[in-house]
Amino acid sequence: MQILVTGGLGFIGSHTVVALAEQGFTPIIVDNLSNSEFFIKERIEQIIGKAVKFYETDCNDLQAMEKIFQENALQGIIHFAAYKAVGESVAEPLKYYENNLFSLINLLKLMQKYAVQKLVFSSSCTVYGQAEKLPVDESTPTLPAFSPYGNTKQIGEEILQDVVRSNADLQIISLRYFNPIGAHPSALIGELPRGVPNNLVPYITQTAIGKRSILNVFGNDYPTPDGTCIRDFIHVCDLAEAHVKALEFLQQQNGSFIDFINIGTGKGNSVLEVIKTFEQVSGKKLPYQFVPRRSGDVTAIYADVSKAEKVLGWKAKRTLADALADAWRWEQTIRTYQ
Ligand code: WQD
């Protein structure tokens, strides 16, 4: 079964390509390398033990995308390809709206034209903003987005809903990821932030290895037990497996179908807990300092994951310590090719 994975050389995409191949699917990667590296393709092939078809193509290029639909007998799509830097989206909103929305519209047009019916869409817990009730479940109304990036995920979900309402014969699941971290346990693939990382875990591992001098912890005056923000950190391999489950579930669906599913662990951990756990698994003392809050951060968010378990039969298996140990092992190998 051929599955097109857009953004398949990126952080979550590459792990999902591995998970798909392990479950007997044939992933086909399309990636424009705007925030990924070509050598990841060989690493994926090393893990799964076979070659993977790859197109260096931009999802915004409708003609080039159409060629991929013509050349392959696609039976499903997992759409990761998108820009994801919150701060950059505030500075360059049009870049985000153009890239993240046109690529989705192109895919939906081609899916209808070539009768490819199954789609798994990458969404985010960012659609909830600061939810009043925690853990947050899928029926929680979305709040106005904090950033153009977040808005592209909300609008993306609305586009999907409208297309399904138009009686398009499409079956769609939008997965709302919480905070993906970690790396493949082989340390052959992982997160490759360009420049200074925005996210906590790559900043931690780069500090531990000496690439950054000190970790800035944004705020210690939040109304949480230790004063730092709380997030639901999910191992990227668990997240990857959720995509395979979503695709398998969609195979059982017909007609016009859409659903939204949280993918997290169900457990919240504070920034300080992440630092302490990292110190335990790495055996390294992490230099850090408290600095003022980062604008746009919500105080606490973690997932109600009962729907994922009930609908998809999926549940996170790996712990925070597993994820941090894998992220650390990956960081230590990155040096060999940078
Ligand atoms: C986690 C916590 C920071 C860096 C973002 C996107 C979201 C999603 C995942 C993505 C916060 C604190 C961080 C640092 C710190 N989608 N922190 N020092 O903001 O929860 O989610 O990534 O593609 O949409 O917004 O993740 O890892 O940036 O931050 O203290 O150097 O760590 O303040 O409390 P976030 P994060």
Residue 149 covered by a domain: yes
Peptide bond into 135 cis (omega under 30): yes
Q: What separation in Å is there between the alpha carbon of 199 and the centre of ligand 1? A: 5
The CATH number that applies at residue 7 is 3.40.50.720
Any residues with CB less than 8 A from the CB of 300 and at least 6 apart, and which?
A: 130, 134, 222, 224, 229, 230, 231, 268
Residue of 55, 83, 96, 149 with catalytic role: 149
**pLDDT on residue 91:** 95
Q: What separation in Å is there between the alpha carbon of 200 and the centre of ligand 1? A: 6
Task: Write out the two tokens for 300.
Answer: 């606490």
Does the annotation mark 203 as catalytic?
A: no
Q: Is 102 in the pocket of ligand 1 (CB under 6 A)?
A: no
**pLDDT on residue 71:** 98
**pLDDT on residue 42:** 98
Distance CA 93, CA 265 (A): 31
Q: Closest Cα to atom 25, ligand 1: which residue? A: 86
Mean pLDDT of the chain: 96
Distance CA 27, CA 17 (A): 6
Q: Is 315 in the pocket of ligand 1 (CB under 6 A)?
A: no
**pLDDT on residue 146:** 84
Residue 197: closest CA among 87, 311, 50: 87
Q: Structural domain of residue 244, as residue ranges?
A: 2-181+234-264
Residue 103 covered by a domain: yes
**pLDDT on residue 237:** 98
Distance CA 161, CA 311 (A): 19
Residue 107 covered by a domain: yes
Per-residue pLDDT tens over the stretch 139-180: 999 988 889 999 999 999 999 999 999 988 999 999 999 999
Residue 336 covered by a domain: no
Q: What separation in Å is there between the alpha carbon of 202 and the centre of ligand 1? A: 10
Q: Is 176 in the pocket of ligand 1 (CB under 6 A)?
A: no
Residue 104 covered by a domain: yes
Percent of the chain with pLDDT over 90: 95
Residue 95 covered by a domain: yes
DSSP 112-145: HHTT--EEEEEEEGGGG-S-SSSSB-TTSPP---
Averaged pLDDT for residues 277-294: 98
Q: Is 200 in the pocket of ligand 1 (CB under 6 A)?
A: yes
Residue 144 covered by a domain: yes
Q: Say whether pLDDT at 59 is over 70.
A: yes
Per-residue pLDDT tens over the stretch 292-311: 999 889 999 999 999 999 99
Pocket probe for ligand 1: among 143, 191, 218, the residue whose CB has the most ligand atoms within 8 Å is 218
DSSP 268-302: -EEHHHHHHHHHHHH--PPPEEEEPPPTT--SB--
Residue 127 covered by a domain: yes
* Atom in ligand 1 nearest the alpha carbon of residue 298: 34
Domain count along the chain: 1
Q: What separation in Å is there between the alpha carbon of 86 and the centre of ligand 1? A: 9
**Are the beta carbons of 62 and 105 closer than 8 angstroms?**
no
**What are 290's strand-pairing partners?**
217
pLDDT band at residue 337 using 50, 70 and 90 as cut-offs: low
